Structure 1
């Protein structure tokens, strides 16, 4: 890994713990202790990725996500002690790429960073692959071990949305928008179609290993 990473967190202990680990992985590390300095540093330093705490002294971190998103070319991973599902959903719907609970393990955080970096650096591809699963975006064709899997148009749209966020959680609202064009549609529709996708794609739908549930938040395509 390499690039420029910004930690926006008012806890010096978090910065002290993360800086040597990130530096050892090739990142140039920047830090800011409040939202105002964080947005300014993200813009001036042209960072590639932001680790964003929600409990900042001058702002709720969720309020910074749209401003950071306007900078462009960066990924946002929220790291916060707010474990409520509503907080996670709100942050992800605001534009965050992922969410990690405090306290977190360094290995988990580094894995999330690698996933965000891959997605950030990936060029648009007509075919998305995950192991034996291949999703042809142009032909709207899905195969597993070269065997075509017949999906309905709505099933394909949901799978494509998950694949385009490969490894990162996609909220129910985003999936409802992708499948039904209405983020306030009944979530039961989504659960039904996720179950149909698992029946077609998982070796054991009762123990899914491909399409994972993030309880109360949404779903993730495991990569």
Structure 2
């Protein structure tokens, strides 16, 4: 079993982080021939990453891959024991996919000061604060999203938060980072200091920096 994808993707980083908190050895490999190659499309016809290769059979979509890992390796759960807390952890991951991520990614297209749309930036800034509020509302006492250890919601929110921080810093948009204060700041500090999550966040952040530099060079 191995995971195809690049650590510069927040969705790949999510799965890698989830495997780490579960203690699962999950090798990361480049997609054979690229994500649009015939070989890769046989595993995942959507042509996106990540894809989990299980004996030549492909499983796509990061959340589904995490579900699979939870089913196959139940010995150390990546979800809280309490059913309500499990639902909250899953809810936070869902909020990331449906709301937070949808507000962060448009800013990536506004990196060039010469062509950026200030109205798009202002709207995204307001929505980022609002949607992070959704995640905070679903959180427990912490320091992680739901309890004393990281779970699925932390993996999803952690990767996307690192992407947000990198984009806000590089773009100098003047947008408030909602994880700079309060409950979300406590959560982020715990994530960075966690033995499983912290190194993955660092690797992802470094890889994403490299990706942004390539994109900046292409704009020149």
TM-score, reference length from structure 2: 0.28
> What TM-score do you get using the length of structure 1 for normalisation?
0.28
Which structure carries more strand by proportion? Answer: 1
Larger helix proportion of the pair: 2
